[in-house]
Structure 1
């Protein structure tokens, strides 16, 4: 039975631990956690007393077969330097930090390396986890990781170079879409006597139903045709979105991809200081 170590207990690692345990993909005895904010783990330990709370990151590296590093991108190099050499190639490192490549991690760790980009949607057992295995990962280890993350999400393997644009579509998207829903509902409230809560309820319920229809195989184009009859009211609204949204989303991707490049440069600079 493999031991899974979690370094850092921020929102994403917290979501993963809770998700894996609730899905019975992991037994509490398999979990060891290291975090600077130990109070954040109190309620988890109360519910799962068999979980091990480590004194530091080195203790996790000594025990865990698989290490899920869930710290901020600029902190990853420091963590890797701290745990480097403890078990050599024995640990399988999984990084969920944005902008930290497996090649960069390989400067610190000679063993197996995987990048995973999860989505907050995994909180409800939905969404996609992007996955890329460094050539150091053997098929058996790759399968274990993919099956673990499949317990809380759909695992999609992509080339590592696609993590940033794909990340906008699945990892950033819950925030981006929520802003869109909120603005749609706010406009409805401004142009009626409906409250913002009433409008948001309508939007969210409709979005949920729309997503189910699309998931069942209805194409976006077909769904638009069903609702937006030629010369009708909905068609007028669709025309506005067709005109204005492409530029909005192009600007969104240009901005976020530029930010990714900036963070990657800062990560590389920090890593050179730690090598």
Structure 2
């Protein structure tokens, strides 16, 4: 099985590293390309047997499973460029939420799917959000879920929930990294602790929380209950969070859905003009 990656930016790069390092795909069975070829060639310095293609069409012609890792507005011309190479036995995969299964199937006749990865997949953890096209065989579904399971926990998501699911699984690391940085900044501003020590303590704390959740020692709710002793210091901090956070996360989802709607309008104008 040959896996192709078109686009070697942040998420394409994560898939390249993760698939090879997890041994899901041998580097000799992977073929990649990028609009700026020099960016793709950098990966060959680490994985010498990795194949670099001179065009997206060559990736589509050679690979059995093709991941498209480009910006949403670049999909339409790219699909028209490669569609003649996409025979029925091939699988084309979008990794971006604004491109729907229907969008892909409106142009190509091969099997299609959407797999939205997360930066957490770089450590072979976190989720990948999977949606299968109508033409996907049961064999293909099993093959894709098995492939994704090397680097993540694959979770099937309906089209109507893809934006919310992406906000949590894919955008979530950025959102909570921002909050943790503000947490560190607050500690440094209000106390004598150094930024270096506050950062180390916060990093170790969040790793510890992840292990507690991973090992089913506590849930998110029981974590709060165990730490927040009635009348204690933690409770005072929780009061501030309750008072000042307000509807911040409702507003986050509102903003991301607004941008998603704008992206969809632009895509519809391209695909269905």
TM-score normalised per structure 1: 0.94
Name the structure 1 match of 2:214: 215
Note if contact 1:89-1:109 (Cα within 8 Å) is conserved in structure 2.
no
How far residue 197 of structure 1 moved from its aligned partner, in angstroms, is 2.0
Unmatched runs of 5 consecutive residues or more in structure 2: none
Residue segments in structure 1 that go unaligned for 5+ positions in a row: none
Regions of 4+ moved over 4 Å: none
Match of 1:226 in 2: 226
Q: Which residue of 1 aligns with 2:141?
A: 142
Contact 2:86–2:109, Cα closer than 8 Å, also in 1: no
Distance 1:160 1:92 in 2: 19
What is the RMSD computed on CA atoms of the aligned residues? 1.4
In the TM superposition, what is the alpha-carbon distance from 1:199 to its structure 2 partner?
1.2
- Equivalent pairs counted in the alignment come to 272
Counterpart contact for 1:229–1:235, Cα < 8 Å: yes
Q: Distance in 1 between matches of 2:186 and 2:47?
A: 45
Counterpart of 2:129? 130
Provide Cα deviations, 1:56-85, integer angstroms capped at 9, x if missing partner: 111111111111100001101111011112
What residue is the counterpart of 1:270 in the other structure? 270
What residue in structure 2 maps to residue 241 of structure 1?
241
Partner of 2:105: 106
1-side partners of 2:54 and 2:38: how far apart?
A: 13
2:92 equivalent in structure 1: 93
Distance 1:56 1:18 in 2: 20
Residue of structure 2 in register with 1:3 after alignment:
2
Matched, 1:158 2:166: no
In structure 2, C-alpha distance between the alignment counterparts of 1:178 and 1:167, rounded to whole Å: 16
- For residues 193 and 59 of structure 1, do their structure 2 counterparts lie closer, same or farther at Cα, with a shift above 3 Å needed? same
Q: Is the 8 A contact 2:86 2:110 kept in 1?
A: no
Give the corresponding residue for 2:118.
Answer: 119
Contact persistence 2:37–2:54 (CA under 8 A): no
Q: Is the 8 A contact 1:8 1:34 kept in 2?
A: yes
Establish whether residue 179 from structure 1 lines up as the match of residue 178 from structure 2. yes
Q: Distance in 1 between matches of 2:237 and 2:143?
A: 47
Residue 52 of structure 1 corresponds to which residue in structure 2? Answer: 51
Could you tell me whether the CA contact under 8 Å between 2:33 and 2:40 is conserved in 1?
Answer: no
User: Relative to structure 2, which stretch is displaced further, 47-56 or 9-18?
Assistant: 47-56
- Once the two structures are TM-superposed, the CA of residue 246 in structure 1 deviates from its matched residue by 4.5
| Contact in 1 for aligned 2:117/2:128 (Cα 8 Å) | yes
Report which stretch shifted further, 169-178 or 208-217: 208-217
Deviation at 1:247, TM superposition (A): 0.6
